[in-house]
Structure 1
């Protein structure tokens, strides 16, 4: 069975502006970073654009694939049946820009926090619902496939009962030794 793409996430147009403002706020609050603001806007604008161009999130029938990175590009493939939580986070600055952070946690992940953080997905709630819906479909298919072994166990039990009954009948029909 081919693992066909179901949904591809798109990112807000103002995500780059959100990251630029976040960086500017950080540099301003740190006071030492105020002189770096002159470098931040031209270099940050270039870096943010490149980073967003390298971001993607694709939902297939069985997994979620997330690609991102500027210098070091990473691709995380998460089997849907391993996802334990998908949280939506929105801080004050994110509310101002109308964006959310979607965090994905999985069973068996090492370390603290989320395995995946996706910031700025357009219609993030619909994307999250689609991932969770696809996960539930996958779980239902696995449950349906796993039912035949339970049926096999029931058949074996019935055959054992039939065999025991036949043995009792055979013993009842067998003539007893006379002494």
Structure 2
């Protein structure tokens, strides 16, 4: 299927409290240090602005053949991961994530270089369902690709068989006219 005709299956939405989750660890560190308390007054409004813009620029789309992830404020990146290259999708939830009711979805692929996941998607609403849909589409795609495709020898045999049937029908018709 050409790229322009890929069917979109699912667009992932991100949790509204994702920005708070990202800001919390550094805010805790600033609060614990006396010097950091005045910096906290600058950090929170600026941090909220940047995290909101970053989240607004994030999108994740599952198509029938690949997973497309877009993100970034200053430098926009787009990763397109073919579903048949995905080897693992882990669902992670640390202690702070449990407080915010968030999950991180990590995606590893065949042939990726370096340690760790190729993509980390934090804060997808209903991450477990999104993961299930990606894996189901991956399985569906692998079954389609494993299905036998007609080869030229089969096509030639079918054409010969149809020609023989056609010739037989013509003989039968000719015999019926002579009766």
> Within 5 Å, which residues of 2 pair with 1:15-34?
15-28=18-31, 33-34=36-37
* Residues 1:93 and 1:111: Cα distance change in structure 2 (over 3 Å): same
The RMSD of aligned alpha carbons is: 2.2
When residues 32 and 80 of structure 1 are mapped into structure 2, their CA distance, relative to the original with a 3 A threshold, is farther
Q: What is residue 41 of structure 1 aligned with on the other side?
A: 44
Helix, strand or coil at the partner of 1:121: coil
CA distance in 1, matches of 2:51, 2:122: 12
How many residue pairs match? The answer is 151
TM-score, normalised with respect to structure 1: 0.77
Q: CA deviation at 1:26?
A: 4.1
Aligned to 2:165: none
1:103 aligns with 2:95: no
Which residues in structure 2 correspond to 1:30-69 (within 5 Å)?
33-69=36-72
For 1:62 and 1:144, how far apart are their aligned partners in 2?
16
Q: 1:19, CA displacement in angstroms? A: 1.4
Give the distance between the partners of 2:84 and 2:93, measured in 1 at CA.
26
Match of 1:89 among 61, 86, 92: 92
Q: What corresponds to 1:113 in structure 2?
A: 116
State how far apart, in whole Å, the 2-side matches of 1:97 and 1:55 are.
19
Gaps of 5+ in 2: 155-179
Could you tell me the TM-score, scaled by structure 2's length?
Answer: 0.77
Note if 1:14 corresponds to 2:12. Answer: no
Could you tell me which runs of 5 or more consecutive residues in structure 1 were left unpaired when the two chains were aligned. 153-179
Q: Which residue of 1 aligns with 2:169?
A: none
1:136 to 131, 135, 139: 139
Name segments (4+ residues, structure 1) moved above 2 Å. 25-36
Cα distance in 2 between the residues matched to 1:80 and 1:31: 49
Q: Deviations over 1:120-151 (max 9, x none)?
A: 000000000000000000000110046x57x9
Identify the residue that residue 80 of structure 1 maps to in structure 2: 83
CA positional deviation for 1:102: 0.5
